[in-house]
Amino acid sequence: MRIKNLIIFGTRPEAIKMAPLVKEFLKYNHKFDTKVCITAQHREMLDQVLSFFEIIPDFDLNLMKPNQNLYSLTSEIINNLKPVLESFEPDYVFVHGDTTTTMAASIASFYSGAKICHVEAGLRTFDMTSPFPEEMNRSVTGVVANVHFSPTETSKQNLINENKNPNTILVTGNTVIDALLFSVDKVNNPKFKDQEIDDLKAILEADKKLILVTGHRRENHGQGFINICQALKQIALEQPEIQIIYPVHLNPNVQKPVYELLGGISNIKLIQPLSYPAFVWLMEKSYLILTDSGGVQEEAPGLGKPVLVMRDTTERPEAVDAGTVILVGTNTTEIINKTKQLLLQPDTYSNMSKLHNPYGNGKACSQIVEYILEHSKKLQ
């Protein structure tokens, strides 16, 4: 009898970080019947990832609504997962990280009686308001999960401090590094052709330092984004010898202020969200990255790129401790000052652009599958 796995995800970062796990499980089709269910909490940004990793979901709940809210999204995910869980009856459900999909899918899977495996478990800021609602989402998932796959020793320790049984926690590294290494290989292969990368080459100026920006956090909506945009505008106007490129997240709460405040500035390029290989290519080409993203904080150190994190807290202290990531919050002056230091002080820049990888070695997914192979023997 094959063990039944259901891998559930819904947003761009979950898809990037679960894609290599889907691929790894599919190598063991003789042991596992693995199916993929997407909530499609994101639509276009999720489909970009599915297309690059060539994943065709078995179940597509197609739930995204324009400017959706947390109440209806949560309830829709739980309600729409019921028939999937009842018909497929998975032994194991895999959820990832800290989105509304993660939390709602964990609750639904708990009701179904499946064993819940949390990938990227144990990240904490210890502040329920930041990131919001992600700190709550991952804490709730941690409560119902049977197995916790933690990216680092720090995240494992966070779970032990919450009285989780250490035998249910495995440190694997972050699956994002599996995805990153796969993609870096592809992008650097001379035979790899990508229209988006060609389009980027056409708009970028080879002689100008490139600052890459991303942002979307809910707690930064409103004044936070206004501050960030004011900082970017001032940097761009004061330093015409640099160029800023910003693939703007599709959330209307991000699109509106960013296009209103930064449109029409010649050395700021506002573009659509990029597919994963084009974004990886752009990270490699950039001098410096300004972001509030979780995933980008994990990828950039592996590419040797300094990161200024436009948040007040981080659940990823490892790269901060190593000195390659700095928290700058959303204070306009602080963002400008730290960016200028990195542009104008070669020593500061070289100290921060160390290549290191505290988040994994690209073998997280094979470790997860090995663990489940061993663990599932008890079910057979």
Nearer to ligand UD1, 21 or 49 (CB): 49
| Binding residues with ligand UDP: total (CB under 6 A) | 16
Tokens 């042991």 -> residue:
31
C-alpha 262/C-alpha 257 separation (Å) is 8
Active site residue 347: no
- Rounded least distance, CB 219 to ligand UD1, Å: 11
C-alpha 305/C-alpha 349 separation (Å) is 9
Q: Which residues inside 62-101 make contact with ligand UD1, applying CB under 6 A? A: 64-68, 70, 98-100
**By CB under 6 A, residue 295 contacts ligand UDP:** yes
Residue 266: Cβ-neighbour burial (10 angstroms; 0-12, 13-18, 19+): exposed
Active site residue 218: yes
**By CB under 6 A, residue 357 contacts ligand UDP:** no
Q: Which residues inside 228-257 make contact with ligand UD1, applying CB under 6 A? A: 250-252
**By CB under 6 A, residue 299 contacts ligand UDP:** yes
> CA Rg, the chain, in Å?
20
Active site residue 249: yes
Nearer to ligand UDP, 5 or 293 (CB): 293
**By CB under 6 A, residue 146 contacts ligand UD1:** no
CA distances from 36 to 60, 117, 135, 142, 335 (A): 9, 14, 25, 21, 40
Nearer to ligand UD1, 8 or 336 (CB): 8
Q: What are phi and psi of 209, to 5 degrees?
A: -60, 140
**By CB under 6 A, residue 293 contacts ligand UDP:** yes
- Taken as a whole, the chain contains a residue count of 380
Q: Is 149 helix (H, G, I), strand (E, B) or coil?
A: strand
CA 211 to chain centre: 19
279 closest CA partner among 379, 368, 200, 351: 200
DSSP H/E element including 97: none
Catalytic site residue from 12, 249, 311, 316: 249
**By CB under 6 A, residue 124 contacts ligand UD1:** no
**By CB under 6 A, residue 274 contacts ligand UDP:** yes
Nearer to ligand UDP, 294 or 362 (CB): 294
C-alpha 317/C-alpha 329 separation (Å) is 15
Q: What are phi and psi of 268, to 5 degrees?
A: -120, 120
- Rounded least distance, CB 193 to ligand UD1, Å: 24
Binding range to ligand UDP, per CB under 6 A, among 25-33, 147-155, 232-240, 269-277: 269-277
Nearer to ligand UDP, 88 or 276 (CB): 276
Determine contact, residues 58/37, Cβ cutoff 8 Å.
yes
- Residues contributing to the site for ligand UDP (CB under 6 A): 12-13, 16, 176, 214, 216, 247, 273-274, 276, 279, 293-296, 299
Query: What does the binding site for ligand UD1 look like in residue numbers (CB under 6 A)?
Result: 11-13, 41-46, 64-68, 70, 98-100, 133-134, 216, 250-252
